[in-house]
Structure 1
Amino acid sequence: MKLAFTTSGCPNWNLDTLLSKAIEYGYDGIDFCGYMGEKDIFQLPIFTTDLAATKKKFQEASIAVSCFSSSAQLFTNSKEELAAHLDELSQYGRLCHEFHTPYIRIFGGAIGDTDRREALAVVSENLSEMLKIAEQYQVFLLLETHDDWTDSEFIEDVLNLTESNYLHVIWNIHEPYRKAAETPEAFWEKLGKRIKYTRWKDSFENTEQASQFCLMGEGDMPFTRFYQLLLENEYKGYFAIEWDKMTYPELAEPEIAFKQFAEYLRELKEKME
């Protein structure tokens, strides 16, 4: 079992703290989704002028960069936005090469009142440009189950737009289950072979906030069913906690949530195996 945490859950941790906490809690990878409040991390000194020192620290800690989580979106009608997305992917492609990281996260993006078929036509054109970058840097783009693309049917529609092997899926297990009422089994049956990475979080259903995030096991997400599917199908990818304190500052501190996630997943593994 490979564990990772997303940096959106610890926006106040510097690089040394990220690595020391990863070691302390028994994590294998760090998923960069911002750094100390900055979204475009590829512009920061730790990934530019201080890149060599950053790489050395990761090597000495034996911690991987499991994924670079971009904000690039497949759906946009704006040439300016698309150009920005392509530049962002190129920057992360460069960093993937430096850190031997195989994955860049992308979003489908909100389509608003655009007809789904029309949206797919736009996505098809934009995806072809993004995949050129993925091929150039030999990295996989991972489409996350998120926003208007949580249902497995919608994800499958995107995957069917290309025969490229550089496009796969991040299964953010919370979103299809909560927002599309899709069972783990139904989702896996349709997309299991394309799932390279998983993100986990728990919540209570039917609260004033529609769903209220909480520590693992405190809510009612059926984690046993999710884990059983992954176990039966010999999943080898990361189990990453998604803990977005940048958006939800009221969430528990990472010192609590990250430690508890690692303990919970190991206990689940021991129980299931």
Structure 2
Amino acid sequence: MSLSSISRRHFIRNTSLAFGSLMLPLPKGPAKLSFSTLGCPDWDLPEILVFAKKNGYQGIELRGIKKDMVIPESPWMSADMLGQTKDMIKQSGLKVVGLGSSAQLHHTEPATADKHLAEARQYIDLAAALGCPNVRVYPEKLTEGGDKQATMKLIGERLLMLGDYAKARKVNVLMETHGELLYAKDLEQVLSSARHSNVGIIWDVVNMWVKTKESPASVYPILKPYIRHVHLKDMVWDGDKFNYVLFGKGVAPVREAITALQNGGYKGFYSFEWEKRWHPEIAEPELAIGAFPQAFRSMTGTV
């Protein structure tokens, strides 16, 4: 049976049975936990929601559903299915805390730039329809055109443009610390030029640290005004390269970052980003994603 042919009653009834069979309540600890679906590339949306609730998460971050990396093109987000999808998410008791676009803000070639901005707007529209608060975008390259300062200025201008578009739809545009925009001083320059009520960042702690070696404790005061969402993972060094490991089993300064966030009054989600889609050799999602909540709470003393 194709997805579009599932009757509403059958869809909702089966989903209700799946969630009703889970007796474990969500933990009431101070931290809100989510995971990115980058970590479970073979799971369909019902599997994602059931696993998240069963394993103590409060939210999910959509970055691909099975083969569909462009979330607005997933059958679950089609006009025919969106209402049923929203019902299923509501019944799960979970929150979709972010949609991960691939939109990049650094491009100087007009047609390419327009394509990426159109993707960002498409995700913002979908987030508004889902009641999802955040859409991720990338800064990406700083020297593609040979002028770093001009590119940083361009990224800031596009954040402001998307912030205006998102504000009208009650959504936030969050730039991930990613690509070549990783050093705190560069991030501060871009973000201070793009101050907007609906613009912020996703602080990917490991993305920054493996490149810059700036300590989270020193970075946090600079980034604090802009942090709306956090990505966590862990790793070990293999020469000058690194390998991902289960959370809490590596050498990344994640405890330092979490301590800074908690002491600074951060109230957003901590989202586990297990890059299984890009690194199929790493541990299966049942193990890695399943282990994160307990590892996080053990690390932070909130078990």
Identity %: 28
Q: 1:128 and 1:235, CA in 2 relative to 1: closer, same or farther beyond 3 A?
A: closer
| Matches of 1:231 and 1:111, distance apart in 2 | 31
**Stretch deviating more after TM superposition (238-247 or 75-84):** 75-84
Look up the match of 1:51: 82
Per-residue deviation, 1:104 = 0.7
> Which 5+ residue runs of structure 1 have no aligned equivalent?
none
Look up the match of 1:71: 102
Per-residue deviation, 1:208 = 4.2
Give the structure-1-normalised TM-score: 0.94
| Matches of 2:194 and 2:50, distance apart in 1 | 41
| Matches of 2:252 and 2:173, distance apart in 1 | 27
Q: Highest Rg: 1 or 2?
A: 2
| Matches of 2:191 and 2:260, distance apart in 1 | 21
- Partner SS for 2:296: helix
Look up the match of 2:151: 119
Paired AA for residue 216 in structure 2: P
Look up the match of 1:146: 178
2:5 aligned with 1:5, yes or no? no
Look up the match of 2:48: 18
Superposed counterparts of 1:143-182, under 5 Å: 143-182=175-214
Paired AA for residue 39 in structure 2: G
| Matches of 1:140 and 1:2, distance apart in 2 | 18
Per-residue deviation, 1:143 = 1.1
- Partner SS for 2:175: strand
Look up the match of 2:139: 108
Give the structure-2-normalised TM-score: 0.85
- Partner SS for 1:137: coil
Look up the match of 2:257: 226
| Matches of 2:89 and 2:179, distance apart in 1 | 32
Deviation digits for residues 37-69 of structure 1 (CA, Å, limit 9, x no counterpart): 222110222011210110010001101101011
| Matches of 1:185 and 1:132, distance apart in 2 | 32
Per-residue deviation, 1:209 = 6.0
| 8 A contact 1:204–1:211 mirrored in 2 | yes
| 8 A contact 1:82–1:126 mirrored in 2 | no
Superposed counterparts of 1:205-244, under 5 Å: 205=237, 207-208=238-239, 210-244=241-275
| Matches of 1:80 and 1:59, distance apart in 2 | 38
Look up the match of 2:4: none
Q: 1:115 and 1:236, CA in 2 relative to 1: closer, same or farther beyond 3 A?
A: same
Deviation digits for residues 153-204 of structure 1 (CA, Å, limit 9, x no counterpart): 1111111223322211111010221111111111112111211111001011
**Stretch deviating more after TM superposition (251-260 or 186-195):** 186-195
| Matches of 1:190 and 1:121, distance apart in 2 | 19
2:71 aligned with 1:41, yes or no? yes
| 8 A contact 1:89–1:133 mirrored in 2 | no
| Matches of 2:122 and 2:176, distance apart in 1 | 19
Q: 1:78 and 1:255, CA in 2 relative to 1: closer, same or farther beyond 3 A?
A: same
Look up the match of 1:30: 60
2:301 aligned with 1:257, yes or no? no
2:120 aligned with 1:93, yes or no? no
What is the number of residues matched between the two proteins?
A: 271
Deviation digits for residues 79-124 of structure 1 (CA, Å, limit 9, x no counterpart): 2222222222222222222222111111101234522112123324
Superposed counterparts of 1:174-213, under 5 Å: 174-205=206-237, 207-208=238-239, 210-213=241-244
- Partner SS for 1:244: coil
| Matches of 1:29 and 1:133, distance apart in 2 | 25
Q: 1:225 and 1:47, CA in 2 relative to 1: closer, same or farther beyond 3 A?
A: same
> Which 5+ residue runs of structure 2 have no aligned equivalent?
1-30
| Matches of 2:110 and 2:157, distance apart in 1 | 11
**Stretch deviating more after TM superposition (157-166 or 45-54):** 157-166
Paired AA for residue 181 in structure 1: K
| 8 A contact 1:6–1:243 mirrored in 2 | yes
- Partner SS for 2:135: strand
| Matches of 1:126 and 1:169, distance apart in 2 | 14
Look up the match of 1:245: 276
What RMSD, in angstroms, separates the aligned Cα atoms of the two structures? Answer: 1.6
Look up the match of 1:134: 166
